[in-house]
Structure 1
Amino acid sequence: MSEQELKLHVPAASRQAVQREIKQREATRIRLHAMYFDTPERELARARIAIRLRLEGRDWVQTLKMPGADAITRIEMNHPRPGPVLDLSVYAGTDVEAPLAAIKGELGLRYETDVLRLLRRVRTRHGMVELAYDTGILRAGTLELPISELEFELVSGKPRAIFAAARGWQQRHALVLDPRSKSERGDALAQLAHKLAEVDAAAGDDHQARRAEAIARFWAPRGAAAIKLREDMSPPQAMGAIAAECLDQIARNAAVLAEVDTEGVYRAGNSEHVHQLRVGVRRLRSAWKLFDGWIAPVPDAMLQQARAHFAAFGANRDQDVLNETVAPALARAGMPVIPVESTPPEEDAQTIAGGKAFQAWLLDLLEWSLDVPPPAAAPDGHAIANGTPTDAAPEPAIRLEGGVPGALVQPTIIPLQGAEPETPRLHKQLARRLRRWHGKVADQGLQFASLDIPARHELRKRGKRLRYSLAFAESLLPAAKLRGYRKLLSRVQDILGEINDLAVAKEHYEACTATHPQAWFALGWISARLEELATEAQQAFDDLAHSKPFWK
């Protein structure tokens, strides 16, 4: 069977209030102790399967879980057990028999959870939802992570019932979207426990440094992942798959910045999490442009919030680049120390990531991505692309002989079944649009040396949009041709990225010259470097413009 659920992290400041609200109506309290199993080589985790034995009150239940069709759906198989005995024979004849039979290693206990759960049901206009507030510990070896999450599981009705219930709780209690399941967190914690045991056994002078590196890697930034589109996908289906991946990148980096695992203990979020979160937003906005006209218009509020949040995180990113990249480069070049830092942004990244506005946007985006609407249809049933019916020719008007002067009649024509024009296959649609985008980037890039700053910035955005969109369509395009082109485009983007960072730094140091004359050193160094980069950019664009086409 499958289940549909949404999980939100409950920050420490909100836990008592959430507990009080859960208990306002009749609620059930139950103690849950679960043991999760896998082989030393993590064969189940790599197959995206989780198997556990859980003591639920006085009853033992064996559960297998796998990902479902979308981000809120899970495949779940439950079997009552007489005790803590794992029995794989219950999966004989099921869809999971083959992957379980392929396991070579010996199953053993990998991690466990100890949870106190409060259960309560709520009814919305779209259906019944069960709330489960879990508090407790996730344990692997000697390591522990806190569990503090509120799950919204659909009991009956439509999936929108989950979001209708979750939005109110999210706004009242500043809850945070966390895409990770307990099993995913537990598997990662077990890997960390194993790694730290290896480090401790090896000892050495760099022992503490290697421990710190392993711990930091546990909360490593989430970069972009590959997306595999299928030729038989409709544009809304393809957009849904892309949006789901972009959202996962955004939400996972936001969860680290909001200190879901580390609140009050360890500052895991850093500038690279901010950068990767913004990459996720930029990729999403690029996909919206790529599929413009092939799906229904993205809601204006969702678009505006994407721009606002991107800009807010951008202020943090600019400061990080200045402090961590540009200033050290200037110091190495011999610039005297300037005893002043850049003005901090209005809100830091942690506050934005855990804030109600940003988290509400993530919920809206998640719900939208589950069922991306197709473009609107004209009254005659034909699709409308970019606001214009695809078949806009007027119907013929015929004057009847002997009829009333001036009277017209519109004939009705019933088409032959199957005579409607075939919709272009997905890869052809994508290739045509990407070819046009390449043309615009190449044409403008050939004139790079003569472009002013705003035009260069706009060209940089176009180039990024093309680069991300190529990655979305990669599984449908010729890999050999795409490889060389993507390398050339990446070179362009790297150069333009450095130009943009230096332009931001230049504004900062220009504001410092009145009180810190040594800032003139920075301006001279930056100007010289910008001239070098302009020459490199022109050559990179020339190479890109004369590259072999990837779309044929």
Structure 2
Amino acid sequence: MSEQELKLHVPMAFRASVLREMKQREVARVRLHAMYFDTPERELARARIAIRLRQEGAEWVQTLKMPGADTITRVELNHPRPGPILDLSVYAGTEQEAALAALKGELGLRYETDVQRLLRRVRTRQGTVELAYDTGILRAGALELPISELEFELVSGRPAAIFSLARKWQQRHGLVLDPRSKSERGDALAQLARRLEDVDAGAEAEREARRAEAIARFWAPRAAAPVRLEPGMSAPQAMARVAAECLDQIARNASVLAEVDTEGVCRAGNSEHVHQLRVGIRRLRSAWRLFDGWTGPVPASLLDDMRRHFAAFGANRDQDVLNETIAPALARAGMPMLPAESAAPQEDARAIAGGKAFQSWLLNLLEWSLDVPAAEAPASGAPPARRARGADDHAPEPAIRLEGGPSSSAAARVPAIIPLQAAQPDPASLRKLLARRLRRWHRKVAEAGLRFAELPLAERHELRKRGKRLRYGLSFAESLLPAGRLRDYRKLLSHVQDVLGEINDLALARDHYAARTAAHPEAWFALGWISARLDELTAEARRAFQDLAHGKPFWK
């Protein structure tokens, strides 16, 4: 069977208020102790399968879980057990049998959860939702993580029911979207426990540094992951898959910044999490432009909120670049030390990531991504819908066509109707659409890039954004394009992006230090160094764009 559920983390400051609201209606309370199994080489986790034995009150249940059709859907197989005895024979004849039969290692206990669960059902206009408030511990070896999460599971009705209810609770209690399941968190904790055991067995002189490195890897920033599109996909289906990947990158970095695992203990989030979160937003924005005109319009509220949050995180990112990249480079060049840098942004990244406004946007984005609308066909007699900027697609032939000119004969005025035939899927259609649009984006980037030295600052900045859009668009379409040509082209485009990125960072730093020259004459050193470096980079950018313009085309 499958289930649809949404899981939100409950921050420490709101746990009492969530508990009070849960108890305003009749609730059921149950103690859950679960044991999760895998092989030493994590074969089940790598196959995205989780198997557990869970004691639910006085009963034992064996459960297999794996991802379903979309982000909120899980396949779940439950079997009552007489005790804590794992029995794989219950999966004989199921779709999961082959994966389990292929296991090479021996299954063993990897991690456990010990949870107190409060259950309550809520009826809405869209359906019935079961709320499960879990508090407790996730344990792997000697390591523990707190569990404090509220699950919204659809009992009956439409998925809109869980989103409408989750939004209300999120706004009242500051809930945070956490894409990780308990099994994913447990598997990561078990890996950390194993790494730390290996570290403790090593040389004492290196032990602390290696422990710190292992712990940092546990909360490492979530970088972009490949997206695999299938040739027969429709544009909305492809957009949904791309959006799910971008949202996952955004939400996972946001959850670390919001201290889902570390609240009250340490701050695991850092400047790289902010950077990768903003990369996820840029990728999503690029995807919306890539599929513009082939899917329904993105709601204006999603776009407006995206710009606002991107700018807010950007203020944090700019400060990080100054402190962590530019200032150290200037110090190495011999610049005299300046007093403390400018004040931190008005709102820090942690507050933004865990804030109600940003988390509300994530929920709205997740709901939209589950059902990306198709582009609307123009009504009869209406002008065609706005074409996507940069699109060069041909409109489809009409299924019904009037033939014949004016005539006094009644028979001649009767239109001939061409029967409507089911469109035959063109397996190359998605590839052709994407390649055509990316080719146009390439041409615009290359043409402007060859004039880079003459471009004013504003146009250079716009060119940089176009280059990023092209780079992300290529990453979304790469599974449909020639791999060899794409690999060479990506190297050329990556070089362009590296040069433009440094130019952009230096332009921001130049404005910063120019504002400080009146009070601190030492800042003139920075302006001179930055000016010289920008001249070098301008020449390098010209060469990089020439290589890009004359590189082998990726779309053939």
Tell me whether the two structures share a fold, i.e. TM-score over 0.5.
yes
Amino acid at match of 2:211: R
Cα-to-partner distance string for 1:54-76 (whole Å, 9 max, x where unaligned): 00010000000001111000000
What SS does the aligned partner of 1:362 have?
helix
Q: Distance in 2 between matches of 1:416 and 1:478?
A: 38
CA contact (8 A) 2:246 2:280 kept: yes
| CA displacement at 1:390 relative to structure 2 | 3.5
Q: Distance in 2 between matches of 1:171 and 1:234?
A: 35
Q: Distance in 2 between matches of 1:133 and 1:69?
A: 25
Q: Please point out which of 385, 400, 406 is paired with 2:407.
A: 400
Q: Please point out which of 432, 439, 443 is paired with 1:439.
A: 443
Q: Distance in 2 between matches of 1:165 and 1:209?
A: 45
Aligned to 1:329: 329
Amino acid at match of 2:395: T
Q: Distance in 2 between matches of 1:219 and 1:372?
A: 31
TM-score when scaled to structure 1? 0.96
Cα-to-partner distance string for 1:487-531 (whole Å, 9 max, x where unaligned): 000000000000000111111101110111100000000000000
Give 1:432-471 correspondences, 5 Å limit.
432-471=436-475
Q: Distance in 2 between matches of 1:420 and 1:17?
A: 55
Amino acid at match of 2:328: P
Give 1:149-168 correspondences, 5 Å limit.
149-168=149-168
Q: Distance in 1 between matches of 2:425 and 2:119?
A: 51
| CA displacement at 1:401 relative to structure 2 | 1.7
Counterparts in 2 of 1:514 and 1:392: CA distance versus 1, 3 Å: farther
| CA displacement at 1:312 relative to structure 2 | 0.5
Aligned to 1:272: 272
Say whether 1:426 aligns with 2:426.
Answer: no
CA contact (8 A) 1:292 1:386 kept: no
| CA displacement at 1:384 relative to structure 2 | 5.4
Aligned to 1:362: 362
Say whether 1:73 aligns with 2:73.
Answer: yes
Cα-to-partner distance string for 1:454-510 (whole Å, 9 max, x where unaligned): 000000000000000000000000000001100000000000000000111111101
Counterparts in 2 of 1:25 and 1:401: CA distance versus 1, 3 Å: same
What SS does the aligned partner of 1:273 have?
helix
Aligned to 2:496: 492
Aligned to 1:83: 83
Amino acid at match of 1:546: H
CA contact (8 A) 1:240 1:371 kept: yes
Aligned to 1:378: 378
| CA displacement at 1:206 relative to structure 2 | 1.8
Q: Distance in 1 between matches of 2:276 and 2:45?
A: 25
CA contact (8 A) 1:110 1:190 kept: yes
Q: Distance in 1 between matches of 2:475 and 2:39?
A: 34
Indicate the percent of aligned positions where both proteins have the same amino acid.
73
CA contact (8 A) 2:407 2:413 kept: no
Counterparts in 2 of 1:421 and 1:228: CA distance versus 1, 3 Å: closer
Say whether 1:415 aligns with 2:422.
Answer: no
Aligned residue-pair number: 548
Counterparts in 2 of 1:49 and 1:402: CA distance versus 1, 3 Å: closer
- Give ranges in structure 2 of 5+ residues lacking alignment: 389-393
CA contact (8 A) 2:404 2:415 kept: no
| CA displacement at 1:124 relative to structure 2 | 1.1
Q: Distance in 1 between matches of 2:35 and 2:382?
A: 55
Q: Distance in 1 between matches of 2:508 and 2:291?
A: 31
Q: Distance in 1 between matches of 2:419 and 2:162?
A: 44
Aligned to 2:391: none
Cα-to-partner distance string for 1:305-334 (whole Å, 9 max, x where unaligned): 111111110000000000000000000000
| CA displacement at 1:266 relative to structure 2 | 1.2
- Stretch moving more, 277-286 or 203-212: 203-212
CA contact (8 A) 2:25 2:120 kept: yes
| CA displacement at 1:400 relative to structure 2 | 3.5
Amino acid at match of 2:105: G
Q: Distance in 1 between matches of 2:354 and 2:341?
A: 25
What SS does the aligned partner of 1:156 have?
strand
TM-score when scaled to structure 2? 0.96
Q: Distance in 1 between matches of 2:52 and 2:524?
A: 64
What SS does the aligned partner of 1:139 have?
strand
Give 1:123-272 correspondences, 5 Å limit.
123-272=123-272
Say whether 1:8 aligns with 2:8.
Answer: yes
| CA displacement at 1:421 relative to structure 2 | 8.9
What SS does the aligned partner of 2:76 have?
strand
Please report the RMSD computed on the Cα atoms of aligned residues, expressed in angstroms.
Answer: 2.0
- Stretch moving more, 422-431 or 20-29: 422-431
What SS does the aligned partner of 1:512 have?
coil
Aligned to 2:506: 502
| CA displacement at 1:386 relative to structure 2 | 2.8
| CA displacement at 1:259 relative to structure 2 | 0.2
What SS does the aligned partner of 1:497 have?
helix
Say whether 1:390 aligns with 2:398.
Answer: no
